[in-house]
Structure 1
Amino acid sequence: MADFVSKEAVMSSSIKKQSASVFRVFVRSQIVMLELVALGVALYLIQQKSANAQTTIAILLFCVFVFTLLTGKGFPHFRHRGKALLLLAVTGFFAVQGATIVEQQREAHLAELRASDPAAFLTELREIDEDRWFEELRELDPDAHAVEAARRSALAEAERLAQCTDQKASQAYVMIQADVRRTLVAPSTAEFPSRYGAGTGHAGDCLYQVNGHFDAQNGFGAMLRGTFTGTIRYFPERDSWQTQTLSVN
């Protein structure tokens, strides 16, 4: 009889502990929900005041919760990875939403400024997006657009020519050899010295004069020495070469 009573007491105690444990889990889950709601409301209220501030805060919190999710470390109250994941979802949502609102507000501001003050619109747009500014300049200030187009063209040409240095003469010498081989009876037997001939160099405008000689078999299998001279142009924009003229003797 005593054993029965003892077992009944143990079971009753176990049930009470399980009930208390379930209750604690329920309470904790409700607290987490309240924290999520509070965070969402706080970010929303900040958004009403300043979308920029809300976006910045949401991004910072997002980074904090990512760190907690990956490492299990962070602020004591938020170290639990499950809680960090939920908070991460909330801050991520508000970060994206805030960025969208900021973009919409900026576009509305630019549209209003374009209609009321084109010069100020162009000045502000240039700081944000120079390519878009250049396109708008075509319509709002054609003369300034022509000047800018000429400046950009000259800059691009200068950058292109800056890549056509005398140091590329050796590369020009190697690249023209493929076209020299195509003129030979036995192209696979052609042997070129490691050094190009005198007079090889940059002729200007990415055009290279190339002089050299080679040894190759003729139709009878005898090795003969030949010479060649030609021009080959380098195209920096696509990093390619094209033979312009070639004379093989």
Structure 2
Amino acid sequence: MTLVICSFFTFLAFGSDDEKKDISKMNTEAFTISKNFVEEQLKAPGSADFPTLDLTSDYIGDNTFKVKSYVDAQNSFGAKLRTHYVATLKFNGGDWADKSNWTLIDLKTTEQ
């Protein structure tokens, strides 16, 4: 009985391996969706270049993710600028690839 209780509390504290894999996958999906929200803010979204590796995406609880990355895109004068961003997104369920299933909670950008 004690072993069962300890195992249950260990599961609650650390989650299952499947849960960790799901969160890791969702972090990637959150990054993918964040690019859509960022592109909406750009003058020339077709010129957007996002990194493939230089990013962080963290699960912060309650189906919410914080994505930190950057995009290189043209401004209104045609010059390519790097814009760093932090997007906080919440997944509402359903098909992860459908942007309407996500809520953009916050988007902060800084140009460099």
In the alignment, is the contact (CA less than 8 A) between 1:193 and 1:213 conserved in 2? yes
In the alignment, is the contact (CA less than 8 A) between 1:233 and 1:242 conserved in 2? yes
- The counterpart of 1:178, out of the listed 11, 33, 36, is 36
Larger radius of gyration: 1
Instruction: Report the equivalent of 1:221.
Output: 78
Instruction: Report the equivalent of 1:205.
Output: 62
Q: Which whole-Å CA distance do the structure 1 matches of 2:58 and 2:25 have between them?
A: 9
Alpha-carbon distance, 1:244 to partner: 1.1
TM-score by length of 2: 0.68
Instruction: Report the equivalent of 2:106.
Output: 245
CA RMSD between the two structures: 1.8
Answer yes or no: is 1:235 the counterpart of 2:92. Answer: yes
In the alignment, is the contact (CA less than 8 A) between 1:173 and 1:196 conserved in 2? no
SS of 1:168's equivalent in the other structure is helix
Q: Which whole-Å CA distance do the structure 1 matches of 2:62 and 2:54 have between them?
A: 20
Q: Which has the larger share of helix?
A: 1
SS of 1:195's equivalent in the other structure is coil
Instruction: Report the equivalent of 2:6.
Output: none
Q: 1:234 to 1:242 in 2, by over 3 A?
A: same
Q: 1:235 to 1:164 in 2, by over 3 A?
A: farther
Q: Which whole-Å CA distance do the structure 2 matches of 1:196 and 1:167 have between them?
A: 17
Q: 1:164 to 1:235 in 2, by over 3 A?
A: farther
In the alignment, is the contact (CA less than 8 A) between 1:211 and 1:230 conserved in 2? yes
Task: Provide structure 1 residue ranges, at least 5 long, that are not aligned to the other structure.
Answer: 1-161
TM-score by length of 1: 0.32
Q: Which whole-Å CA distance do the structure 2 matches of 1:183 and 1:221 have between them?
A: 16
Alpha-carbon distance, 1:181 to partner: 0.8
Q: Which whole-Å CA distance do the structure 2 matches of 1:168 and 1:223 have between them?
A: 30
Q: Which whole-Å CA distance do the structure 1 matches of 2:91 and 2:103 have between them?
A: 7
In the alignment, is the contact (CA less than 8 A) between 1:170 and 1:196 conserved in 2? no
Q: Which has the larger share of strand?
A: 2
The count of corresponding residues between Structure 1 and Structure 2 is 86
Q: Where does 1:122-141 land on structure 2 (aligned, <5 Å)?
A: none
Sequence identity (%): 28
Q: Which whole-Å CA distance do the structure 1 matches of 2:103 and 2:54 have between them?
A: 18
- The counterpart of 2:24, out of the listed 144, 166, 172, is 166
What are the superposed Cα offsets for residues 6-35 of structure 1, whole Å, 9 maximum, x if unpaired?
Answer: xxxxxxxxxxxxxxxxxxxxxxxxxxxxxx
